[in-house]
Amino acid sequence: MTTDTIRTSDGADLVQPGLLPELRDRTVDNLWQRAVRSNPQGTFLLWETSEFTYAEADVEVAKTTRMLRDAGVTPGTHVAVLLDNRPEYIWLLLAIGRIGAVGVPIHAEAKGQLLGHFLRSTDCSYGVIASSQTANVESVLGEDRLGYVWILDDVPAGEIGTVPRLGRVQEPYAPKDVADGGKDDEHRVPRFSDNYLLMFTSGTSGPSKAAVVSQAQPITHALKIAESCGWNAQERFYTCLPLSHANAQCHTLLPAIGLGATVVLGRRFSVRKFWSDVQRFDCTAVSLLGSMLQLLWKKAPSPEESDNRVSTVLVVPFPRNVQEFDDRYQARFATLYGLTECAPVSISRPGEGYDRPAGMAGRILRDHNDVRIVDADDIEVPLGTVGEIAVRRHDPYITVQRYYGRERETWDDFRNLWFHTGDFGYVDEDDYLYFAGRKSDSLRRRGENVSIRELEEVLQSFTGVLEAAVIAVPSDLGDMSEDDIAVYFTSEDGAQLTAEQLDLLAEAELSRYMRPRYIRHVDDLPKTPTSKIRKDVLRRDAEVNLTQFFDAETRRQI
């Protein structure tokens, strides 16, 4: 075990025993088995009306492991997971880690060209998908096929033959009974350095990239947060964020397993039900995106929001008026800075940094990583000066290993032996890190990174669209890390495509978080002498002429 140096709010150093196992012991199954041995009858998972102890959950993980192995899943096999939140998602993540396979979590709402990109670019040979997604998967794969597909959800056993054939063999998701725990001696034991997940991120430019994540990386991410927040085995962690997202995995699931605590899993985020669910399940810690917190803030106060056991709210980014949130919800707030590729880079303890300027993302974890703020030439800038945040870890295999099939982007982001985040920020004299905006051609909506170029390519594929230019506009949630999406488009000769019609096409083809909110048809787009679209001109125009757009949220002209 490690020890970790942390600071109290008054700046004093404390040394406490670390939760992190030694680096070589940081595998998913090691962490899971440690929790099962130490707390077999403790409650691991609460899901709607179901409850699983660690021992009961271990049986489900063993069944799922055997199901995968019997179908031919071996170390290194790529397995796509296209599901909404549900207990089976957790069993799959743990079974994939036990086998040493590579999971490819895909957002449950993915469809169209982007779903095809997610499946093909990651060389998935197996898949576990919801029955509601079978038609989408079949339409994007075309003549391609996954080697083996399990259909989960609402597919009666006698009707499996009516589901479109997505692979050579397909079956309903039905793990087999197993007595040996699925840990046969002849199977290779995964190592901390083995690839574990391919996590999609828009990165710093271009189409979404699959970040190659080792077994050790998410465990390190999760338990560094748990240490800093002072969580313990009595916690009940609530998340309604998708398990395809690093937040749900690393801010809730893995901290709970590392502590032997309880996960309370919600199906999806609901402003109306959030605090009542938190109260009903006696949750003590929640992790939120800034946009979710702002939506909850706008809701009229209710007894449930303060009459509950929540003591810690981990939120990214930190709200500007954090003390008001603390007063209203009677909970201490913490925040961090990190990406799918490397996290946490910095973190604040609950209740720390309330008086700091906007953008505060916690104190840099100097025992964990080096951080530099650099200019366009990768030269470090003085304290307090805004530049790009660059990170270098102290230990191997706890940063993204590469982008799968994207060697050039890997080299670009790791140039000069530092990982370049694509985010602007600065560091103050107390070693607090501040987020100051994005350098990259991407935006963030509803907690998801959106590649602008990828979205433009989809919009330009629609019949009648000649060109599309996407820009980020400030979210009306007042959250500096959240954007709304605006698009300007021109029509092909003879086409009579309206903004409302483009919205209907986008609704059919795109996930909700990628769908533009503001749409405007224009005759021409401003361009440079070399024919590049002048997005600086479009941004200025959107600031003063937003009333010229069609609003997809209200389905009317503003």
What is the pLDDT confidence band of residue 440, given thresholds at 50, 70 and 90? Answer: low
Q: How confident is the model at residue 360 (pLDDT cuts 50, 70, 90)?
A: very high
Quick: pLDDT tens for 36-84: 999 999 999 999 999 999 999 999 999 999 999 998 999 999 999 999 9
Q: Which residue, 167, 190, 213, sits at the end of a domain?
A: 190
Choosing from 141, 166, 190, the residue where a domain stops is 190
- Residue 124 sits in a domain whose CATH number is 3.40.50.980
Burial class of 355 by CB neighbour count within 10 A (0 to 12, 13 to 18, 19+): exposed
- Among 158, 190, 222, give the residue marking a domain's end: 190
- Is residue 340 in some structural domain? no
Q: In what order do the strands lie in the sheet with 146-152?
A: 167-172, 146-152, 126-130, 78-82, 102-105, 195-201, 209-214
Arithmetic mean of pLDDT over the chain: 88
Task: Answer whether residue 214 is part of any domain.
Answer: no
Query: What is the residue range of 456's domain?
Result: 443-557
CATH code at position 537: 3.30.300.30
pLDDT at 448: 78
539 inside domain: yes
- Give the closest residue to 96 by CA, choosing from 124, 121, 61, 122: 61
- Asked if 6 and 14 touch (Cβ cutoff 8 Å), the reply is yes
Strand order in the sheet with 50-53: 50-53, 43-47, 262-265, 236-239, 285-289, 312-316, 332-334
- The model scores a pTM over 0.85: no
**Lowest-pLDDT choice from 335-344, 379-388, 472-481, 514-523:** 472-481
Both tokens of 230, joined, read: 């002072």
* pLDDT at residue 110, as a whole number: 87
**What pLDDT shows up at residue 2?**
45
Total domains in the fold of the chain: 2
Are 450 and 444 within 8 A, CB to CB? yes
- The confidence score (pLDDT) of residue 178 equals 65
Whether residue 379 contacts residue 415, with contact meaning beta carbons closer than 8 Å, is answered with no
Q: How confident is the model at residue 6 (pLDDT cuts 50, 70, 90)?
A: very low
CA-nearest of 452, 552, 547 to 498 is: 552
| Region of poorest pLDDT, from 108-112, 120-124, 266-270 | 108-112
Work out the pLDDT band at 451, boundaries 50, 70, 90.
Answer: confident
Instruction: Confirm whether 350 is domain-assigned.
Output: no
Which stretches of 208-345 are DSSP H helices?
A: 216-229, 246-248, 254-259, 274-280, 290-298, 322-329
User: 176: phi > 0 → left, psi -120 to 50 → alpha, else beta; which?
Assistant: beta
In the predicted structure, residue 264 carries a pLDDT above the cut 70: yes
Q: Establish if 148 belongs to a structural domain.
A: yes
Between 141 and 215, whose confidence is greater? 215
Question: Residue 9 pLDDT > 60, yes or no?
Answer: no
pLDDT digit string, tens, across residues 231-252:
999 999 999 999 999 999 999 9
Does a structural domain hold residue 299? no
Q: pLDDT category, 202, cuts 50, 70, 90?
A: low
Please give the residue that has the higher pLDDT: either 498 or 452. 498
User: Which token pair is 307?
Assistant: 């009459």
Q: What is the pLDDT of residue 205?
A: 46
DSSP class per residue in 92-131? HHHHHHHHT-EEEE--TT--HHHHHHHHHTTT--EEEEEG
Highest mean pLDDT among 103-117, 154-168, 174-188, 357-371: 357-371
Model pLDDT, residue 14: 30
Mean pLDDT of 359-363: 96
Q: Is 424 part of any domain?
A: no
* pLDDT band, residue 201 (cuts 50/70/90): confident
Mean pLDDT of 394-409: 95
- Residue 114 has a pLDDT of 83
pLDDT at residue 352 is higher than 60:
yes
> Which residues are CB-contacts of 200 (< 8 A; sequence separation ≥ 6)?
106, 107, 118, 208, 209, 210, 211
Residue 335 lies in a domain: no
CA distance 10 to 13: 9
Alpha-carbon gap, residue 555 to 518, rounded angstroms: 10
So what's the pLDDT on residue 16? 38
pLDDT value at residue 351: 97
More confident call, 205 vs 527: 527
Q: For residue 159, name the pLDDT band (cuts at 50, 70, 90).
A: low
